[in-house]
Amino acid sequence: MNGVLLLMGIVILICIVAYRFTEKLPIPSLLIFILLGIIFGENGIFRIHFDNYRAAEIVCSIALVFIMYYGGFGTNVKAARSVAVKSVVLSTLGVVLTAAFTGVFAHYALHLGWLESALIGSVIASTDAASVFNILRTRNLNLKDNTASLLELESGSNDPMSYMLTVVVVSIMNGSNVSVPLMLFQQLFFGILFGLLIGKAAVWALNHRDFSIAQGNTIFVFSVAIIAYALPILMGGNGYLSVYLCGILMGNSQIPEKRDLVRFFDVLTGIAQMMIFFLLGLLVTPVNLPHVIVPALLIALFLTFVGRPLVVAGILAPFRSSLAQIGIVSWAGLRGVASIVFAIYAVLNYNNFTYNLFDLVFCIVLFSMALQGTLLPAMSKWMNMIDENADVRRTFNDYQEENDVSFIKIHMDERHPWAHQKLRNIITPPDFLIALIARQGEGFIVPGGDTEILPGDLLVIAGREFENRENLTLKEVTVSPKNRFCNKHLREVDLPANSLIVMVQRQKETIIPCGDTLILEDDTLVVAHY
């Protein structure tokens, strides 16, 4: 036990130190961690013997839960709205067609049985979100036609379909007496149902309940991700679909302390990705790979140059996507950790394969990441898909968390001390800027030192965003008709311990409240927790 813990600590330390250097290399940084695992493995320098597929599946599946949750959490639905239909079709019908084409190729090219061929196609049918996200961010690939959002949404949402196909094929191969339509229905219905319900309930709880322990919201969301995966599985549903949908719903909702959640899951999923790729490198036995290199290379080449392009062209062409977008989406179909995890699941539940399925899929993933991942930036440039005016970070929900500038508005009236004052005579705090004035009859004014502020003006002011402290957090609550605050005086409101309503925003009026303040529908309350 102590030896395992020591190894884990050393591996995490090496991964963190190595990441600083690997992100500068032209190859995907995650590929380095696979190679690092091979170096530690039984045929490497350190000769650590590890062949426990069950333990590997447990560790990798748990890590994949958080990777998929955070993939959904970070997907900016507003940015992806224009390509949402394309992405969903690619992540559902596209996965099925990719699995079918690959299965047919494996059957005729490798002379495998239909079910074994179908299983290979199902396992490697999805693209890898972790790899795609990693390359888009580290290489700062600002792609035209909102293609980055298309790739993010597709790669983040297609693993559940691949997993579902894998489960169905394995069940059939085992001779289980299952109804395939019923199994598919259960996987989709309970996956979608629990994902949405748990996500909605979690958002409500975060906005209406105060957790008294430090970082309570972060701990709560951590548990929500686990429940969103595990609960639908008990009902025969797809846990990966559920946790991904839960992440999308929560990431695109207004919830308190989102900055802390982003930082936590950034670290958690970063370590999870490193550990998964290292563990898979440790699990593989390199001396056995020559037996599967040729079939793996044939399948990888078919996927890259035939299967994936045919599927993408067939789906995107009716949407009138450009040839360049079809080309780059085809090339960006990287295989990754999910495919290997699904292969481990198949190996544990069925063991009569012509080729070692884990080794076969492992080599396919290596080829895909080495070829497609390494050349994706160059292919984007060659296909003229780089948009110099775009910012790929804006396609992620956590982009706003990287920017500490916030904007507020103030309406002027005769009683305000700034009324009839020139801008240069107004004393404002440091890092505080009156950026814009909206004036009736004159439109928008970019103010200078001689600009006089008049009653009726709307001032747009830029300042440093409030950063939640350990002993003080602020959140906004919009009062709906059913809200327990609605139509009550402040003194009648029962607030949680250590909470205080410090401000009420009512249309154009900002109110510093007292006990007699009546809270009305559509008021925005600023609540402090300390």
For 236-259, what is the mean pLDDT?
Answer: 90
* Report field, pTM of the whole predicted structure over 0.85: no
- The pLDDT tens digits of the residues spanning 368-405 come to 998 998 899 999 999 999 887 766 666 666 544 444 56
List, in sequence order, the alpha helices (H) in 209-351: 216-234, 239-251, 258-283, 290-302, 308-316, 323-331, 337-349
Tokens read off for 423: 């801008």
Mean of the per-residue pLDDT values for the chain? 86
Top mean pLDDT of 19-28, 334-343, 405-414, 471-480 is at: 334-343
Tokens read off for 75: 């997907």
- The pLDDT tens digits of the residues spanning 486-508 come to 888 888 888 777 778 888 888 76
Residue with structure tokens 């906004």?
476
Q: How far apart are CA 176 and CA 180, in angstroms?
A: 10
| Whether residue 27 has pLDDT greater than 50 | yes
* pLDDT score of 400: 46
For residue 126, CA distances in Å to 102, 103, 318, 455 come to 12, 14, 22, 59
* pLDDT score of 112: 94
* pLDDT score of 30: 72
pLDDT top residue among 160 and 530? 160
Q: How far apart are CA 174 and CA 53, in angstroms?
A: 19
Q: How far apart are CA 277 and CA 66, in angstroms?
A: 15
Nearest partner of 239 among 226, 225, 229, judged by Cα: 229
Helix, coil or strand: residue 469: strand
Helix, coil or strand: residue 397: helix
Tokens read off for 319: 């949407």
Helix, coil or strand: residue 272: helix
How many of the other CB atoms lie within 10 Å of CB of 187? 27
DSSP letter, residue 373:
I
For residue 113, CA distances in Å to 68, 120, 352, 469 come to 32, 11, 11, 61
Backbone angles phi, psi at 506, to 5 degrees: -125, 100
Helix, coil or strand: residue 409: strand
